[in-house]
Structure 1
Amino acid sequence: AEYTLFFQAGQESFRSITRSYYRGAAGALLVYDITRRETFNHLTSWLEEARQHANANMTVMLIGNKCDLSHRRAVSTEEGEQFAREHGLIFMEASAKTAQNVEEAFLSTASKIYKKIQDGVIDISNESYGIKIGHLSQASSFGGRDGSASQPGGCCS
């Protein structure tokens, strides 16, 4: 599988660009900083914008980043879990610095999208759902945790 990632970091100047990415997205990772309450406070507006411009079946993973800095925590795990529950999101805490749960966040999101395909919620023949079927490819995929390249191959590109 191939993933296209667009990192916005909450910058207003990229909002118009981001809107076009939502339209063709099957999933999104909504990330806040557990050490900065204001990032958590902006989640509702970012989620509303994503849902306004995206397919109604888009899978959203909420990620509390910087779990390696729990001693500086400004947002509790329970608050993140509650926000996710109230808005129908998948939830996980992670650390981009230590890579804790980073791969798991992508895999969990992809797994949820795949389940929606299997259940017929996402129509893979309709690109508005954010899924494009590709050809068998020899392109390498994401590297493993140790930095080595994964085995080439796959079904979608």
Structure 2
Amino acid sequence: MITIDGKQIKLQIWDTAGQESFRSITRSYYRGAAGALLVYDITRRDTFNHLTTWLEDARQHSSSNMVIMLIGNKSDLEARRDVKKEEGEAFAREHGLVFMETSAKTAANVEEAFINTAKEIYQKIQDGVFDINNEANGIKIGPQHSTSSQGLPSGGGGATPGGGCC
């Protein structure tokens, strides 16, 4: 659970570890996802080289509005870096992705990666890009706890008076 604009947002997260053996299962997760984190290891060029394939897979099996964040992981291993930060930034720019580097070991930017992805999804809800009536977008309106529906897209998307999101 995280809070964005004073609203409680529940994130449901699936990790396939990018393993080829999970590829067919991963495709079914894309269909019901509002966001994805595409992660590569900055110390292993081959993980960066496979990004195009994973990105094509994600885009082919997901909503065209899905938020995709590109993550360069293991930023704590600067001495072993094999992929420059600028390369990650350029790939993200070229493909319309949000980019950041993280370290799962030190927790640097890990929480921020999830929060920033959630904020991007929330903004798309606010902008009316995501139809919150369509659960195929990976968004469900939860129990209503607030007394104000400010900030929700017009029409309420099936939400009861009181707001709430995701």
Report TM bin, short chain: 0.7 to 0.9
Matching residue of 2:38:
30
What is the DSSP-based 3-state SS (H/G/I as helix, E as strand, rest coil) of the residue aligned with 2:68?
Answer: strand
Matching residue of 1:85:
93
Distance 2:144 2:29 in 1: 25
- Structure 1 runs, 4 residues or longer, greater than 4 Å off: none
Query: Alpha-carbon deviation of 1:26?
Result: 0.2
Matching residue of 1:56:
64
Query: Alpha-carbon deviation of 1:10?
Result: 2.1
Q: Residue type of the partner of 1:13? A: S
> Which moved further from structure 2: 14-23 or 74-83?
14-23
> Which moved further from structure 2: 35-44 or 123-132?
123-132
Distance 2:26 2:20 in 1: 10
What is the DSSP-based 3-state SS (H/G/I as helix, E as strand, rest coil) of the residue aligned with 1:78?
Answer: helix
Is 2:147 the counterpart of 1:134? no
Aligned pairs for 1:73-152 within 5 A: 73-136=81-144
Query: Alpha-carbon deviation of 1:134?
Result: 1.3
Q: Residue type of the partner of 1:32? A: Y
What is the DSSP-based 3-state SS (H/G/I as helix, E as strand, rest coil) of the residue aligned with 1:67?
Answer: coil
Query: Alpha-carbon deviation of 1:156?
Result: 5.2
The one of 4, 11, 20 equivalent to 1:3 is 11
Q: Residue type of the partner of 1:58? A: M
Distance 2:144 2:131 in 1: 20
Query: Alpha-carbon deviation of 1:84?
Result: 0.1
Matching residue of 1:149:
none
Matching residue of 2:3:
none
Percent identity over paired residues: 71
Aligned residue pair count: 141
Q: Residue type of the partner of 1:106? A: F
Query: Alpha-carbon deviation of 1:15?
Result: 1.0
What stretches of structure 1 of length at least 5 have no aligned partner? 138-154
The one of 30, 41, 50 equivalent to 1:42 is 50
Query: Alpha-carbon deviation of 1:17?
Result: 0.9
Task: Give the alignment's Cα RMSD to 1 decimal.
Answer: 1.5
What is the DSSP-based 3-state SS (H/G/I as helix, E as strand, rest coil) of the residue aligned with 1:117?
Answer: helix
Is 2:17 the counterpart of 1:18? no
Query: Alpha-carbon deviation of 1:136?
Result: 4.5
What stretches of structure 2 of length at least 5 have no aligned partner? 1-8, 146-163
What is the DSSP-based 3-state SS (H/G/I as helix, E as strand, rest coil) of the residue aligned with 2:76?
Answer: helix
TM-score, length of structure 1 as denominator length:
0.86
